[in-house]
Structure 1
Amino acid sequence: MTGTPRPLARSLAPLPDESLPGFLLRLAHRLNRTPARMAVLTGIAPYRLGHAVKLPAHLLVALRPEAAARFAATTRLTLSEVRALGLRPHQVTYPPLTDAGERPDGRFGSHVWAFTAASRFCPQCLAGDGTAVQSAHGGPWRLPWHLPVVFACTRHRRLLDHLCPSCRQPLNASVQGRAGLILHPTGPALHPAQCRNHAPDAGTRKPKPACGTDLTATAAGTRAKADTDLGTLLDLQSRLLARLASPAADEPLFFPDLIAVSQMITISWPAAVDNLSLPEVATDALDKHIHAIRRRTADRPRGDNGRIVIGPPPAAAACASLLAMSEYLVSHPDPAAARDCVQTLARRAVERDRTRFVGIIRRGQLSLPLARALAVQRGGFHATAGAGTSAALRVPTRTCRFTAQEIPQLLPNAAYERHLAHFTTRLTVASRNNARLARRAATLKLAEMTSGGTFSDSARLLGIPRGHALSGLQQLRLRTDGEDTWQQFLLGLDAIAAELDGQEHRIDYQRRRTVLEDWSIPPAHWAHLTDGLPTLDAAPELRICASVLVWTQVTEGDYLFSPLVRDRGWGGRLLGGPDLVRDLPHLAGARRGAKARLLPRLAAYTQQTAAWCDGGARTGEQRTTP
């Protein structure tokens, strides 16, 4: 279509919440035309071969800008009214719609929970409100009925239907695997509230007659099995509709979480009802749906049935039950209890269908609380491989005010004594190395709390060689007599994290490590430090050993990973590194002689160096301490 489109002789005003296909059906009925002819006249039919008009389902999301402009001109609507006929405006509150429909690059995206071409419906809404226009052309086919999370009509207090009462087929279902905007758009003229499916006895006749059943005749409709169930589900629908109307600022990923948990419940079924204390809603319809899907897909290749298995149940009762259980877990007031429930579902889902479970996690956009609840922990840290793991789950395990930059390589002794000394007394092997192992493992866990990532990521952030970090943690775990003792370690870490959060001024240890990465005590400073100690001044190798001691105290670092011992702290040992490792304890533990007299001077010098690192030093400038 070229040039300025001609307005139709007559048009209609859209009804509240009306969908594009519903508006087309009412407009076609008023003008006594087929929906296909109306699509051509209004300029929205993107595919046309001879007399065949194809209306793809993605038009339900949004029209192209040029098509929307033509449609507005011919129907005498405003552009805002035309946009309101599509689902695109709902993507702000319902994120699965973000990638659905036609993308700017011309490709078409689809999320199995974004929308359904087949529409649920309320017979009483379709019957109209008694006004002249709705009495003549029917009430609205409401746009939200195409969203999987809309399963009830709160106005008429009933669950929505999804099958024609006569032919028992979904309304506007896919034909030969392809979904359209309107089923059989070139078929005979029908009232908008009539079923457009083929008649059950159509056989091989062409053209096949339409079912034509009046969908408004079943006013009683499908209800929940008990009034208490219906009230519970209507309350749930009201809450979901409120979120669709206005997103909660503190829960922007509520619907992605709801969908991910729903898919896990489906895969792990019946774990949700067998193992968890979830809301007591009727689950017969959901149980029937899941077992029917499993029978249907049992002999199919795994890759061919993904959308069927993890998609929303078409029946309102089944979908409502599933969403009720999911909302209970997503909105659970007790994070610990929610984590236990979600972990149970995750384990059962992995056992039944690990590939699909991991696919849900990797493709999904999850909130931090749900990702934390799903995260697989091994040895007290995020798992890096194995069943059910994904980078999407290796998130910060705690909401922290402190950062990874403010964590040293070794937990300071004062914090260790307050919170972890009792843990090391319970280890099964007595060793003077236990405290060092616990202090190192503590900082690795603190890094995971605030930055997420893997065990290796935490070690890299702190400048600790991965092999040393792993072997140290393994030794610590081997010396722990059961999970109760390890739980004491984790509880101590929570207390340490709370202390760090409460500190107004925290030290940037990463900055200190960076400033001192190629530093040693300058010869002039060493001469001042050893003034009156000629035996030390005459031992130049001691200056490097003292530099390592200062580095460990300024950075709260492990002397094994000093840049003077290892290349940049985490590489191979430098020439003379083993000698420094051997000699440092003798210097630090000196009780008499010149070395003992040097230690107080080094302590004062350490404070000056720390202040220099925190205040005036910058990476790349001349390394000279005051």
Structure 2
Amino acid sequence: MNTTLPRSLDPAPGELLPGYLLRVAHRIGISPLDLAHWCGLPGGTTFPTHHLVRLDDDQAQQTATVCRLGLAEVHGLTLGTQAPSYPPLHPVYLGRHQSHIDMANDGWVFTAFSRYCPDCLADTADLPGGPVWQGSWRLPYTFHCPRHHRLLDWRCPACQAPTFSNGYRVDGRWRPTQLIPSPRSHLHAAQCRHRPGTGRDAPCAHRLDDPSSVTRAPTDAMVHAQQRLAAAAHSAASYGSLGQPTSPQRFLNDVRATTLAICSTWPATAEVFAHAEHLDAVAAHVETLHRAPAERAGPQGDGWLARSVDHPPGDPYQGAALMTLVVQILEDPGGQAVLARVLSRLPSSRAGYRRLRRLAPHCSPGMSAAIGESAQLRRGAVGPPALFPQPPTHQGQLDPESIPNLLPDTWAWPLDELDGPPRQLRRDAAIRLVQMTMGGSRAAAARYLGITPGALQSATVTIRAWQKQPGNAEAYQEALQRIAEIASAAGA
């Protein structure tokens, strides 16, 4: 259809395509899907999210004709236009050509849902067709509202589904994303469109423009981090990262590389940044990433929004905590050395290391230097990858079910004589006791004890470096034999 609507609306500053279509559809009394069909946007009965990233020339022209807009106004409703320097929205990203669909599916573009400020929605609720949904709310570097000095919300208070998402089914599986969920429903632009039950159930319809909702206020560091990231996504000027000048695009790639470094090496990384604020929020995000995929994808979980370890969290508080730490590292004149220490704990066998190698050519000179220094630290401080082998010497003598994941004082006193890292030694000794009883790999023994991959990595790196010092490996083996005897005598 190329017929012009009898009446339409001017886009509001910062508005995105889905919010604009909702307002127009509500004003003229049709469903968003019908309006989208007239604009040539959907594919059958679905409403693909990639239209949010960019529109091709024919779709943009048809939308302009139907909605009485200029072409520049239509393109201004897409993320690609609103964040011109943001690398994940570029047709060429990390050296590869990507389609609109690739951009929409990238974990650094939140096309599947939108954060929001209830106060902003309330302030614009009286506009024709309803309130304005800001485009910046769809991007992971926007986690607070400067106007109302509050962290953004991201879930409907009634049904708890992420706003503007298609949400989850009653069986816990996530529905395929759509640009506008429940596109056939006639709802106000501020109403939640998630269908809590089956596809035949009515949408939640809870009003999200309730300014009485309570949330945290951002810290000054969080405000600064968002300003820094948003400026880079809109700037073409030279930027600074790890003490050296670079482009905004390379700075933002540094942000992704630093996020990968923090999340891939957690909780060992927490020891490096022990004085950073809100580490509890970062830890909660990393814990979600380490859960099994089925658990992460369950109702009200947010692991599906962070599909791999370098993707930012959906929760605005966790996102603010993580991005604030990232910006502090990149702005620190000594950040290159600190980051090299963190990256040196990233095993070359992990997927995160391979992703880092893909990011490296597109990062700043400071980040490239940190990655190179980390390789030297890994070779010098960590040494050969093999640990002192732990044979199954006590099969049938110990009950593995009685071995705790952190040895108690009554078992661990032989370790106190070693002058080693106490907590890591107790954790590592528990892993080795399981190997002595059951055989198998360190990873299998750690899983048996419920030790997370991050905690296993922390213990492995620390103990490996300590064992390289003369006499430590042999003394440790003697201590383990004594611990096994203590455990056997205790009836373990």
- Per the normalisation by structure 2, the TM-score is 0.66
Q: 2:69 aligns with which of 73, 77, 84?
A: 77
CA, structure 1 residues 74+382, in 2 after alignment: closer, same or farther (shift >3 Å)?
A: farther
CA, structure 1 residues 282+11, in 2 after alignment: closer, same or farther (shift >3 Å)?
A: same
- The answer on whether the counterparts of 1:19 and 1:141 sit within 8 Å (CA) in structure 2 is yes
Q: Deviations over 1:330-363 (max 9, x none)?
A: 122x2xx222211222123328x72222223314
1:182 counterpart residue number: 180
- The answer on whether the counterparts of 2:53 and 2:79 sit within 8 Å (CA) in structure 1 is yes
Structure 1 Cα separation of the partners of residues 375 and 232 of structure 2? 36
Whichever of the two has the greater Rg, that structure is 1
Structure 2 Cα separation of the partners of residues 183 and 268 of structure 1? 37
1:125 counterpart residue number: 120
Q: CA deviation at 1:97?
A: 1.0
Q: CA deviation at 1:107?
A: 6.8
Q: 1:346 aligns with which of 331, 339, 343?
A: 343
Structure 2 Cα separation of the partners of residues 296 and 380 of structure 1? 31
Q: 2:162 aligns with which of 170, 195, 216?
A: 170
Identity %: 31
Q: CA deviation at 1:64?
A: 1.0
CA, structure 1 residues 230+371, in 2 after alignment: closer, same or farther (shift >3 Å)?
A: same
2:235 counterpart residue number: 246
- The answer on whether the counterparts of 2:16 and 2:134 sit within 8 Å (CA) in structure 1 is yes
1:138 counterpart residue number: 130
1:270 aligns with 2:267: yes
Structure 2 Cα separation of the partners of residues 167 and 73 of structure 1? 37
Q: 1:290 aligns with which of 270, 286, 291?
A: 286
Q: CA deviation at 1:189?
A: 1.0
Q: CA deviation at 1:98?
A: 0.8
1:33 aligns with 2:30: yes
Amino acid at match of 1:80: A
CA, structure 1 residues 74+317, in 2 after alignment: closer, same or farther (shift >3 Å)?
A: same
CA, structure 1 residues 367+172, in 2 after alignment: closer, same or farther (shift >3 Å)?
A: same
CA, structure 1 residues 372+167, in 2 after alignment: closer, same or farther (shift >3 Å)?
A: same
Q: CA deviation at 1:90?
A: 4.4
CA, structure 1 residues 170+309, in 2 after alignment: closer, same or farther (shift >3 Å)?
A: same
CA, structure 1 residues 73+306, in 2 after alignment: closer, same or farther (shift >3 Å)?
A: closer
CA, structure 1 residues 235+356, in 2 after alignment: closer, same or farther (shift >3 Å)?
A: closer
2:170 counterpart residue number: none
Q: 2:189 aligns with which of 188, 192, 211?
A: 192
Q: 1:230 aligns with which of 219, 222, 225?
A: 219
Unaligned 5+ segments in structure 2 are 168-173, 240-245, 297-303, 386-492
Q: 1:112 aligns with which of 107, 110, 113?
A: 107
Unaligned 5+ segments in structure 1 are 389-626
Q: What is the number of residues matched between the two proteins?
A: 358
- The answer on whether the counterparts of 1:198 and 1:211 sit within 8 Å (CA) in structure 2 is yes
* SS, match of residue 3 in structure 2: coil
Q: 1:373 aligns with which of 370, 373, 376?
A: 370
Superposition map of 1:406-417 within 5 A: none
* SS, match of residue 348 in structure 1: coil
- The answer on whether the counterparts of 2:86 and 2:233 sit within 8 Å (CA) in structure 1 is yes
1:315 aligns with 2:315: yes
CA, structure 1 residues 220+370, in 2 after alignment: closer, same or farther (shift >3 Å)?
A: same
1:529 counterpart residue number: none
Q: CA deviation at 1:118?
A: 0.5
Structure 1 Cα separation of the partners of residues 376 and 325 of structure 2? 31
CA, structure 1 residues 104+94, in 2 after alignment: closer, same or farther (shift >3 Å)?
A: closer
Q: Deviations over 1:40-59 (max 9, x none)?
A: 122222x11xxxx2111111
Q: Deviations over 1:67-115 (max 9, x none)?
A: 00000011011111101100112453211211389x7978744432134
* SS, match of residue 189 in structure 1: coil
Q: CA deviation at 1:35?
A: 0.8
* SS, match of residue 340 in structure 2: helix
CA, structure 1 residues 254+219, in 2 after alignment: closer, same or farther (shift >3 Å)?
A: farther
Q: CA deviation at 1:247?
A: 3.6
Amino acid at match of 1:20: L
- The answer on whether the counterparts of 1:127 and 1:138 sit within 8 Å (CA) in structure 2 is no
Structure 2 Cα separation of the partners of residues 11 and 378 of structure 1? 58
Structure 2 Cα separation of the partners of residues 28 and 11 of structure 1? 9
* SS, match of residue 92 in structure 1: coil
Q: Deviations over 1:276-335 (max 9, x none)?
A: 366x322323222221221234999xxx99824322100001011111111111122x2x
CA, structure 1 residues 378+197, in 2 after alignment: closer, same or farther (shift >3 Å)?
A: closer
2:399 counterpart residue number: none
* SS, match of residue 114 in structure 1: coil
Structure 1 Cα separation of the partners of residues 175 and 310 of structure 2? 17
Structure 2 Cα separation of the partners of residues 41 and 76 of structure 1? 13
- The answer on whether the counterparts of 1:262 and 1:322 sit within 8 Å (CA) in structure 2 is yes
Structure 1 Cα separation of the partners of residues 194 and 101 of structure 2? 29
Structure 2 Cα separation of the partners of residues 146 and 31 of structure 1? 26
Amino acid at match of 1:324: T
Structure 2 Cα separation of the partners of residues 243 and 282 of structure 1? 24
CA, structure 1 residues 83+306, in 2 after alignment: closer, same or farther (shift >3 Å)?
A: closer
Superposition map of 1:226-625 within 5 A: 230-250=219-239, 251-252=246-247, 253-276=250-273, 280-297=276-293, 307-332=307-332, 334=333, 337-350=334-347, 354-363=350-359, 365-376=362-373
- The answer on whether the counterparts of 1:354 and 1:387 sit within 8 Å (CA) in structure 2 is no
Structure 2 Cα separation of the partners of residues 217 and 107 of structure 1? 33
Amino acid at match of 1:354: R
- Per the normalisation by structure 1, the TM-score is 0.53
1:617 counterpart residue number: none
Amino acid at match of 2:364: S
* SS, match of residue 150 in structure 1: coil
Structure 2 Cα separation of the partners of residues 285 and 106 of structure 1? 32
- The answer on whether the counterparts of 2:52 and 2:79 sit within 8 Å (CA) in structure 1 is yes
Structure 1 Cα separation of the partners of residues 146 and 366 of structure 2? 30
Amino acid at match of 2:50: H
Q: CA deviation at 1:273?
A: 2.6
- The answer on whether the counterparts of 2:143 and 2:316 sit within 8 Å (CA) in structure 1 is yes
Amino acid at match of 2:74: V
Q: Deviations over 1:194-223 (max 9, x none)?
A: 111114xx4x5x511111111112534421
Q: CA deviation at 1:128?
A: 2.7
Structure 1 Cα separation of the partners of residues 340 and 352 of structure 2? 16
Structure 1 Cα separation of the partners of residues 384 and 150 of structure 2? 42
* SS, match of residue 137 in structure 1: coil
* SS, match of residue 344 in structure 2: helix
* SS, match of residue 181 in structure 1: coil
CA, structure 1 residues 8+355, in 2 after alignment: closer, same or farther (shift >3 Å)?
A: same
- The answer on whether the counterparts of 1:375 and 1:382 sit within 8 Å (CA) in structure 2 is no
Structure 1 Cα separation of the partners of residues 140 and 39 of structure 2? 29
